[in-house]
Amino acid sequence: MPGFREHITGSTIVGIGYGAAAWYVGEVPPLTCLLGAGLCSVSGMLPDLDSGPGIPMRESVAFAAAVVPVMLLPRLENFGLPTEALILVCGVIYLTIRFGVTYLLKEFAVHRGMFHSIPAAAIAGLTAFLAFASQEPMHRYFVASAVVLGFLTHLIMDEIWSVKLGMFGPKIKKSFGTAVKFLGNEAWANIVTYLLVVILGALAASDASVTERLSVVRQQVEQASRQYPNTPPLQPIYRR
């Protein structure tokens, strides 16, 4: 099984490629590319959150606790909250993720359970999509895909490492097929996972339609302002 370092290296390389490609092809601004590359890199350690207390769990939970409130800031500002409330809300989100999520992971996560699965990758992507409230719909898809890509990189690396080249051709370890999968062994874990996919998917879809509509309105306003530029103020004409 690849360790923490291999996973982070793999997803960082994929993230840099993803960000660079988006930057090269155009349309995506460099800052968004950088955010995508970073999130892809970090997402490479997400699936191993189920491996119990250790570096992946401690680091990714601490990272998420710090980054999620910042990603939610534009959204919270839309509510028109005063600065004091913003700080309090961010603090509560931080503590909930830092301690609440750690508790849940310690209690319920089974190694190579549903955390190592395709629907879990979808959950991670949908969460990123909901948390990252960009005005540009394309940027949201780009950032959410970065998380899914990092997650999948981890799963695929797990599978690649479970095939070892022996003297007589490739040898397959027992762990083969436990990373890239759609269903786990526990029924309740499968139900919870797919329920989350459906709920988050519905939330993301309704949210996406709102942002799409907003961006269409914004484009129309921009177009209108281009079509009807403000008439320059008339110069007073003085007659002699």
Binding site for Zn ion (CB under 5 A): 47-48, 158
Between residues 145 and 162, which has the closer beta carbon with respect to Zn ion? Answer: 162
Nearest to 137 by CA among 67, 204, 202, 41: 204
Between residues 161 and 194, which has the closer beta carbon with respect to Zn ion? Answer: 161
Residue 159 to residue 156: CA distance in whole angstroms: 5
Helix (H) or strand (E) holding 63: helix 55-78
Smallest gap from Cβ 130 to Zn ion, in A, equals 24
Between residues 47 and 113, which has the closer beta carbon with respect to Zn ion? Answer: 47
Give me the helix-helix angle, 118-131 and 55-78, nearest 10°.
40
Smallest gap from Cβ 21 to Zn ion, in A, equals 25
Residue nearest to Zn ion (CB): 158
Smallest gap from Cβ 35 to Zn ion, in A, equals 24
Residue 45 to residue 11: CA distance in whole angstroms: 8
The Cα-based distances of 198 to 37, 104, 120, 156, 240 in angstroms read: 27, 21, 12, 24, 77
> What is the total residue count of the chain?
240
Smallest gap from Cβ 157 to Zn ion, in A, equals 8
Between residues 47 and 184, which has the closer beta carbon with respect to Zn ion? Answer: 47
